Amino acid sequence: MIPVTGMTDRQVAVLGLGRSGLSAARALQAGGAHPVCWDDNPAARATAEAEGFSCRDLTEGGAFDEVAALIVSPGIPHLYPTPNPVVAAALRAGVPVDNDIGLFFRSFATGDWDNFDTAPRVIAVTGSNGKSTTAALIHHILTDVGRPAQLAGNIGRGVLDIDPAIDGEVVVLELSSYQTELARSLTPDIAVFTNLSPDHLDRHAGIGGYFAAKRRLFAEGGPDRAIVGVDEIEGQFLAGQLSEGAADDRVIRVSVSQKLDGPGWQVFARKGFLAEYRKGRQAGSIDLRQITGLPGAHNHQNACAAYAACRALGLAPRVIEQALRSYPGLPHRSQIIAVAEGVTYVNDSKATNVDSAAKALSAFSRIRWICGGLEKEGGLAQLNAASDAVAKAYVIGREAANFAMQLDVETEICTTMAEAVARAMADAEPGDTVLLAPAAASFDQYDNFEQRGEDFTAEVRARLAG
């Protein structure tokens, strides 16, 4: 646990008592603060009270009279589309609003670090797609080479649940826009921006607000090194804002759509080959095509970003390459779950938006595509542009018929995962890939994307076993 500093003997309100909220309450208490908790869910309040925390309705008049700060869980809106009533009350009372990420950055460093040979470092990864894989890949490389490392944030453990840092340790954080938009302290040593595509637009009042939430990771604390994907205009703009000129190697530009040149520091992948250039000279190269845990151009982008982060830490190219080859991949992210009778079965349930699904479609040939769910804003036109390899789509979800009508490929309305898997497996031929890449949220049929991916995996394995 990371005890929160600077709040000793002060009342701190905590809104939302899920994983991050309870973790924040514990860390505040460990640092000498007095947490006052609230959640609209009585069961969540009961859980907190069972741990000894005080719960109080923070919507009542005067609830913030003696409160030093309000800590808000990531899923609770503080501005758009409308602020949560508790957040609105705190703002009216002039009470600072923060989250567990802000508490972490203000509390992570301790006096013990004065005795370390190598100060601990923090690498923070954000972006629309690929941030989980990039963060996990960085952590895997560090662990593989024997560097002490912890993985936390939007993946793995909560940021305040990790262990206090030891000499030379690296903490790798995956941070969503919900986490970066509110944190009052954001001071990573290395910050990574993978890419940007429309997502969570209602929460951020449009693409501009969404990009602004991501940009805060770079603008608030000023990382020593910034690794920026420049395949979209937003990434190009961000890199330009952070750089003092073309030769400024504090910014490492990353691409999978173009060869990057110039006097600066670049890492890019073309036709499956990663290349690193610095000061106009090639400094490293890796053939990514045979790394089974990183299929497709979107994963090559993740590899480039992770490679750049590890190079910024001083790791040698060949050491990084060796670690990449042992990377097993993450569950629900281009995860190969079976190969049988020449057919490959891939679980990419994390492809919850159009952009991530389009990237998954580009990673395989002759696809039996299981898609559908709770459709997000923006339509499916990008999917149609990326569907050349799709032999047939098997559409699930409560609005399967409407989803199917927007696709330019042969479709079959299946509604349920069981029916979609059965039909795709019946049609599949040797050389085909049965791919779950929904391009939609899971909440019409599942609690989360993990549950959806587990259902797909269970259906495939049961039918192969039967």
Reading phi first (left if > 0) and then psi (alpha if -120 to 50, else beta), residue 173 is in beta
DSSP-assigned beta bridge partners for residue 338 = 345
Please report the pLDDT score of residue 82 as a whole number.
94
Non-local (6+) Cβ contacts of 384 within 8 A are: 406, 407, 408, 409
Which pLDDT belongs to residue 221? 80
CB atoms closer than 10 angstroms to residue 109:
14
Domain 11-98 fold is Rossmann fold (3.40.50)
Contacts of 411 (CB under 8 A, 6+ apart): 392, 393, 394, 395, 404
Quick one: pLDDT at residue 403?
Answer: 95
Domain 108-325 sits in CATH at: 3.40.1190.10
CB 455 within 8 A of CB 414: no
Spatial distance between the Cα atoms of 194 and 298, rounded to a whole number of angstroms = 10
Dihedral of CA atoms 27, 192, 139, 153 in degrees, nearest 10, equals 30
Count Cα atoms within 13 angstroms, Cβ side, for 449: 19
Q: Specify the pLDDT at position 156.
A: 78
Query: DSSP alpha helices (H): ranges in 58-206?
Result: 85-92, 100-107, 131-144, 177-180, 201-204
Asked if the domains at 11-98 and 335-465 fall in one CATH topology, the answer is no
- Which pLDDT belongs to residue 293? 85
pLDDT along the chain (466 residues), means of 10: 97 95 97 97 96 95 95 94 96 97 97 96 95 95 97 92 97 96 96 91 92 95 94 97 94 96 96 95 94 87 97 97 91 91 95 90 94 86 88 96 95 97 98 97 93 97 92
Q: Write down the pLDDT at residue 32.
A: 98
User: Strand, helix or coil at 283?
Assistant: strand
Task: Please say whether the beta carbons of 146 and 164 come within 8 A.
Answer: no
User: How far lies 151's CA from each of 147, 161, 165, 264, in Å?
Assistant: 13, 11, 12, 29
Q: Is the peptide bond before 188 cis (omega within 30 degrees of 0)?
A: no
pLDDT at 282: 96
What is the pLDDT, as a whole number, of residue 202? Answer: 87
Determine the CATH number of domain 335-465: 3.90.190.20
Helix/strand/coil for 415: strand
Q: How do strand 273-278 and strand 265-270 relate by DSSP bridges?
A: antiparallel
Q: How far apart are CA 365 and CA 408, in angstroms?
A: 17
271 marked as part of a ligand binding site = no
Longest dimension (CA), the chain: 68
Quick check: 151 and 172 in contact, CB under 8 A? Answer: yes
Flag whether 128 is marked binding.
yes
| Annotated binding-site residue? 131 | yes
Residue 25 CA to residue 7 CA, distance in Å, equals 12
Kindly list the domain boundaries of the chain, sorted by start residue: 11-98, 108-325, 335-465
Is 102 part of any known ligand binding site?
Answer: no
| 132 is known to lie in a ligand binding site | yes
What pLDDT does residue 91 have? 96
Q: Which of 277, 242, 241 minimizes the C-alpha distance to 259? A: 277
